Structure 1
Amino acid sequence: MTAARLDTLTSWHADWKGLRVAVLGLSVTGFSVADTLAELGADVLVVTETADEEYARLLPVIGARLWTGPLDAVPDELSDFAPEVVIASPGFAPRHPLIVWAQDSDAALWGDIELAWRVRDKVLRADGMPADWILITGTNGKTTTTRLAATMLVSGGLRAAPVGNIGTPVLDAVRDPSGFDALVVELSSHQLWYLGLQQGPEPVSPHAAVCLNLADDHLEWHGSFEEYRAAKAHVYDLTRVACVYNKSDAATLAMVEDADVVEGARAIGFDLGVPGPSDLGVVDGILVDRAFLDDRRTSALELTTVAELAELGLAAPHMAANILAAAALARSLEVPVAAIREALRGFRLDPHRIEVVARHAGITWVDDSKATNPHAAASSLQAYPGAVWIVGGLLKGVDISDLVSSRGASAKAAIVIGADREAVVVAFARHAPGVPVFEVHAVETEEVMAQVVELAVGIARDGDVVLLAPAAASFDQFASYADRGRRFAAAVMERIGTGAGHQHDDVPPAGTPDSAS
């Protein structure tokens, strides 16, 4: 009976009244789920360890109930509620007791993305259709590419918004009364794991999708690299028009080759080399599209140039790759190349992403605190070879040895911070013994970056770059990667004096991609 009813719940206008739904977690995503379901008339129980005071106050106002307490076992209140659907916030790992219980029960287990897809028809476009979805994932570059793609779509005259893991829940956009032509949805591997469970009659079927790259990350959540890869691969499931993949990352091509897509969907490659007739790439310093034009076997469309990107501070190799990926997604919705060029002229990176915070006495200080895993840090080190590298934090079960061997060996010095310092120091001793290594033993948040900067000042010389690219999560010593970056910038300015601050204009751009020959 429950499965049959759930199969009818594929529209905002279906009969959701009285459906018993347990919502696990009360972050911004969890609240958006509870708020949506309450508006639909479902019977909602929110279960969470702790609750933000404002959310806890609002839940009874919208008609939902709240239970808080330890979640190392299934609470009686949850089992007695006997939910027909359990919708989990992305933080709940597959082996969490509540997730195991939900999968063993008669309840359906969803993530917020499946719910959003089911009710996406609340506000329709002028043609009577729901907004198209573009899905973006990858170990690194997701947020930047999501913002780029949304900016390009808007520049092309579409009503579009970046949503999902980027910060705005998809459900908030679905319920926006102004409506959208397209939603650019950033998806974490956690959200994609839940998406892989969907069994409804109308599963998520995006217009276009991309996995930007794949490297070790979140292994403690998924349990293994194989499970992490399998989750990421769900981004391509039932793609209708364009499966965009990274030609420099064989794993992403394999995902596309293995994906169950809608007949007629095209594989579109991107990288910094010469593009084939269904690719985007770089020719003689020009970023070009050879995928979305009629005469793609003999012609290409110019998107922008490496020189133009350098003037905008967007020419680091991984940034150029992100731009090509975003352009492929936008072109799949027929955004003109002129609109893409215009979007790039006004685009600015978010803070803490290869952000130059100061230049003083010939030393450039760069904040890439968003580099929270080795793959991201490798891109930073490629952009700034020979830097004084600030590295360390919580490694999340990832081995940093390959990064130290491949990129760290060319660093001028390493300043090691964080709870997992020993693993980093050992990696340097084994794989880059010629690089001087300095440990920051401070554990108090207020002291860490002051010591980092003091050490860096003693190491760096005229022409050097001091690069914060930790290759690790921040939660051992900081509230977030943004907090880590802000404290780094503040310590730099405190040490060199605010009068020297934020001199962006005279800072040379990060390394640019090689022109294809």
Structure 2
Amino acid sequence: MPPGAEPDEAWVGRRVTVAGLGVTGESAARVLAGLGARVVVVDGGDGERQRARAEALRAAVPDGDLTVRLGDGATLPDGTGLVVTSPGWPPSAPLFAAAAGAGVPVIGDIELARRLRRPAADGTPPAEWLAITGTNGKTTTVRMLAAMLEAAGLRTAAVGNVGTPLLDVVRSAEPYDVLALELSSYQLHWSPKIAAHSAAILNIAPDHLDWHGGPEAYAAAKARIYEGNRVACVYNADTPDGEVPVREAEVEEGCRAIGFTLGVPAPSQLGVVDDLLVDRAFGPDRRRAARELAAVSDVRPAAPHNVANALAAAALALAHGVEPRAVRDGLRAFRPDAHRISTVARRAGVEWVDDSKATNPHAAAASLAAYDPIVWIAGGLAKGATFDDLVRDAAPRLRAVILLGAERALIAEALRRHAPDVPVVDLERTDTGAMAEAVREADRLARPGDTVLLAPACASMDMFTHYMERGDAFAGAVRALPAADPDTGAAGGDGPG
């Protein structure tokens, strides 16, 4: 058994409460009931979706000791000895106050997966974890890393916050060599020790402050990803305090600090030289020479922040022992997900770019830095964020701004302070049709050579189910515009570079 793991028989008869009936909660409940635990799932919702999930969960473990309680997510079931929470449940939830009062520990799905790791059915040791977090870029970097590991011939999967629950893969009969693990701040908050092979923090900027209670707590949650690391702690050398969490982490003896930078790398760093991604951390002569890994043009899109993502992924892959050619081949095979700096059309000399995934100011800043001049579509739910720094830095690039969403006034105020001469269209409607109106206004304002950029800097739930629906609405509205000149019609693409 790996360190920290518990044998399956230790869970038989154990009373566990699972908080939340979403994808993560369903996974935890199913696995625990399958091990013989006495599981109660609680969820505050009692709608059609929750009832359908509850029915499907009971059908998945017909012989398990499983109870689902809908409409009450605050009461701690009698006899509970452990609470396993879904990531989105905030620390302030009444259920956790009740657990604390009863002396019942609360853990998240990642800690549960760590305790349930075991060898595969064929005796293959448990897969190593290469973990990634950051305010922005996590999913892209995890998928880049998985592509590099696949190019090296390793059995791998992108798991965690990226979509596939880690617990399902950990308990799968299919053997894996290594997992590319995306971790959110929510998951890390409930994980006292990750104990990864290697881990990376891409960046930290204010986000989810309403959930964590402040920037310090948010940053502390992110820093937990380094706890118990064995081989490498990868950090962003271009941020002033990027190495601080590494220095403060409790890691295994011999674990190295590895930086990544968009400049020329120092020893123990990866960086960029003459349009090449290079390694001065893992090569045979890292003090005097750099190994070529790939060309900047192998990164798609080659916007600066995405090159940084590629360097972080490369650092983790190299830490696991892959050869440099696998880094290059993985980057060439990688295709970015939709709604991440994706060009949806080029028409009448204007490029239309969907970065709906830019749900906070830090992410939007990266998009805005990649284009000039810009007609910017922004707004939504601010999640406690402020926009002065974002607007101040972007102001010289802005042709015009179109604002929509519930908290657009916060961006409007920042524009009045820092970009008073930039034309602003403030759309008061907050129904989903506002996106089509925003696109029509952008079409009116844009000139040949401009980029119309959807980089909202806000969450989408005021108007849409999620950022993907918002991005789809943008792309659909662009395609619905009157036909452009024949030689500049709509065409797909991968964004800048």
Query: How high is the TM-score relative to the length of structure 2?
Result: 0.94
Give yes or no for the alignment of 1:402 onto 2:375: no
- 1:375-407 CA-partner distances (Å, limit 9, x unpaired): 000000011132101111000001111111112
> 1:408 and 1:105, CA in 2 relative to 1: closer, same or farther beyond 3 A?
farther
More divergent stretch after superposition (232-241 vs 432-441): 432-441
Select which of 1, 17, 20 maps to 1:22. Answer: 17
Aligned-residue offset at 1:104: 2.4
- Per the alignment, residue 66 of structure 1 pairs with 68
Alignment of 1:95-244 (within 5 A): 95-123=92-120, 128-196=124-192, 203-244=193-234
For residue 52 of structure 1, give the secondary structure of its aligned residue in structure 2. helix
Q: Is 1:38 aligned to residue 38 of structure 2?
A: no
| Counterpart-to-counterpart distance in 2, 1:290 and 1:462 | 42
What secondary structure does 1:65 align onto?
strand
Separation in 2, partners of 1:12, 1:329: 30
Conserved? CA contact 2:4–2:114, under 8 Å? no
Aligned-residue identity in percent: 49
| Contact kept? 2:158, 2:181, Cα under 8 Å | yes
- Alignment partner, residue 292 of structure 1: 282
1:477 to 451, 463, 473: 463
CA drift of 1:441 comes to 1.7
1:380 is aligned to: 367
SS of residue in 1 equivalent to 2:10: coil
Q: Offset at 1:436?
A: 1.0
Distance in 1 (CA, whole Å) between partners of 2:187 and 2:294 is 33
Contact 1:125 1:131 in 2 (8 A): no
Alignment equivalent of 2:473, drawn from 487, 497, 509: 487
Whole-Å Cα distance in 1 between the matches of residues 159 and 86 of structure 2? 15
Q: Give the superposition deviation at 1:347.
A: 0.9
Question: Does 1:392 find its partner at 2:392?
Answer: no
User: Which of residues 479, 487, 492 is equivalent to 1:504?
Assistant: 492
Residues 290-329 of structure 1 mapped to structure 2, 5 A cutoff: 290-309=280-299, 313-329=300-316
Name the CA shift for 1:386/1:157 in 2 (closer, same or farther; >3 Å).
same
- 1:11 is displaced (CA, Å) by 2.9
Could you report, residue by residue, the CA deviation over 1:413-459 in whole angstroms, capped at 9, with x for unpaired residues?
Answer: 111110001111111001111211111122221x1111101100110
Three-state SS of the structure 1 residue aligned to 2:481 is helix
1:251 aligns with 2:241: yes
Instruction: Give the residue type in structure 2 aligned to 1:391.
Output: A
Q: Does the 8 Å CA contact 1:363/1:466 hold for their aligned counterparts? A: yes
Q: Map of 1:450-465 to 2, 5 A cutoff?
A: 450-465=436-451
Which residue number corresponds to residue 411 of structure 1? 398
- Aligned partner letter, 1:108: P
Number of aligned positions between the proteins: 486
SS at match of 2:258: strand
One-letter identity of the residue aligned with 1:52: Q
RMSD after superposition: 1.8
Which deviates more, 243-252 or 411-420?
Answer: 243-252
Is the Cα contact below 8 Å between 1:124 and 1:130 reproduced in 2? Answer: no
Offset from partner CA, 1:256-299 (integer Å, 9 cap, x none): 11111111000000010000110000011111011111211112
Contact 1:163/1:186 (8 A) holds in 2 = yes
Q: Is the 8 A contact 1:24 1:87 kept in 2?
A: yes
CA distance in 1 between counterparts of 2:415 and 2:87 reads 34
Q: For residue 256 of structure 1, what is the amino acid of its counterpart? A: V
1:336 lines up with 2:331 in the alignment = no
Aligned counterparts of 1:54 and 1:179: Cα–Cα separation in 2 = 32
Q: Secondary structure, in 3 states, of the residue corresponding to 2:83?
A: strand
Distance 1:501 1:163, change over 3 A: farther
Q: CA deviation at 1:308?
A: 3.9
Tell me whether 404-413 or 280-289 shows the greater mean CA deviation.
404-413
Mean alpha-carbon deviation: is it higher for 43-52 or for 221-230? 43-52
Match of 1:54 in 2: 52
CA–CA distance in structure 2, aligned partners of residues 211 and 15 of structure 1: 34
What is the aligned partner in structure 2 of residue 5 from structure 1? none
- Asked if 2 retains the 8 angstrom alpha-carbon contact of 1:122 and 1:174, the reply is no
Counterpart AA for 2:228 = L
Supply the distance in 1 between the matched residues of 2:212 and 2:489 (Cα, whole angstroms). Answer: 42
